Every structure is written in C-alpha cells, then in structure tokens.
C-alpha cells in the first residue's frame, strides 16, 4: 500500500549534514516505525515520503523551516553557574534536559564556560541545518485504532505502551 495519513511506516534512514557527515542512521538495525500524519518525524521528510510504497527509496534535502526550525538567537544566553546547582565540571559540548516555557523537554547545549557564567544554547542541535535524508521504505501498514489514539506506532511483540 502507498504511504498516506494514518499508516504505520517502517523505514531505514540515514541522515547526513551538508558536509556529508552521518548524523544519525538506523541502517544495520531494526527499521524505524512512525505514524504518517502523526507529527512523529519532521514535516519535510513526512511530505517527501507521502505516496511511496514498500521498497521505495528517496533522497531528500529538508530545509530548516521544514526540519527543526531556524536557530533562535534569543535561545543562546549566558546563565549564572549557580543555575546548574550541584553539577560540577561543566564543559562545552555537554547537553542537559531542561523544561521549556510550555513544559516541553528542551535540550540545552553548553557552548562556553567563562568567568561571567555559562553560555548555553537552547536551540535544537539540528536547528538551522539542512537535513539530508536517504530513506528506504521497508513496510507500510494501516495503523490500529489504538495507535491512532496514541499518535504513535506500537510494536507487534506485545510490548506494552506507557500511555
């Protein structure tokens, strides 16, 4: 069947940056399932996969606007060292999970540690980046009513879902 809204799609994918470096890939492991039309993956990739069938392949460059969004300068700021409380040895490149203004989980990346404080970046690590995907469709099936209700795929081995 063709990929359309309310399908569960299993794919193998490789994500590369503009320099050709692999950022992420599941090739060699289990195919990754997602619910098409369920905002499980970035909009630009979902759009590109629409209408493909099992065995189909695609290479697509997803622009930041349809990926993880542009870099928001206001999300890069210096915070006092005390904001990290007990955590010692904070180094550039470290990542922490914080709660965003609407309660969502936000990844904070440490950019620089100075006398004045710690420069943090609250942008998604892939914000502002073109996402070069190579995708192979492994399986397409209809979502179950439960999957549609939850908005994500359930695996067939009876693995329980926490919702």
- Residues 24-62: b if buried by 16+ CB within 10 A, e if exposed: eeeeeeeebbbbbbbebbbebbbebbeebeeebeeeeeb
What is the rounded distance in angstroms from the CA atom of residue 33 to the CA atom of residue 51? 16
How many chain residues bind Zn ion (CB under 5 A)? 3
CB of 36 to Zn ion, least distance (A): 16
Least Å from the CB of residue 161 to Zn ion: 3
In the bound state with Zn ion, the residue whose beta carbon lies nearer, of 102 and 159, is: 159
How far apart CA 132 and CA 110 sit, in angstroms, is: 25
Q: For Zn ion, which is the closer residue by CB, 91 or 163?
A: 163
Please tell me whether residue 161 binds Zn ion under the rule CB under 5 A: yes
Query: How many other C-beta atoms can be found within 10 angstroms of the C-beta atom of residue 67?
Result: 22
Between 116 and 155, how does the x/- string for binding to Zn ion read (CB under 5 A)? ----------------------------------x-----
Alpha helices in 29-124 (DSSP H): 43-49
Based on the shown chain and the rule CB under 5 A, indicate whether residue 72 belongs to the binding site for Zn ion: no
Nearer to Zn ion, 73 or 156 (CB): 156
Residues at the contact surface with Zn ion, assessed by CB under 5 A: 150, 161, 163
């Amino acid at each position: 069947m063709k990929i359309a809204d309310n399908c569960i799609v299993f794919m193998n994918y490789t994500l590369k940056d503009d320099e050709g470096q692999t950022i992420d890939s599941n090739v060699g492991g289990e195919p990754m399932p997602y619910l098409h039309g369920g905002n499980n993956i970035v909009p630009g990739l979902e759009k590109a996969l629409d209408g493909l069938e099992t065995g189909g392949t695609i290479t697509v460059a997803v622009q930041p606007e349809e990926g993880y969004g542009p870099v928001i300068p206001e999300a890069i700021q210096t915070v006092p060292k005390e904001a990290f409380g007990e955590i010692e040895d904070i180094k550039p490149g470290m990542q922490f999970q914080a709660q965003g203004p609407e309660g969502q989980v936000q990844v904070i990346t440490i950019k620089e540690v100075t006398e004045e404080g710690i420069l943090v970046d609250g942008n998604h690590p892939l914000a502002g980046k073109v996402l070069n995907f190579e995708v192979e469709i492994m399986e397409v099936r209809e979502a179950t009513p439960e999957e549609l209700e939850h908005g994500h795929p359930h695996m067939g081995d009876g693995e329980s879902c926490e919702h």
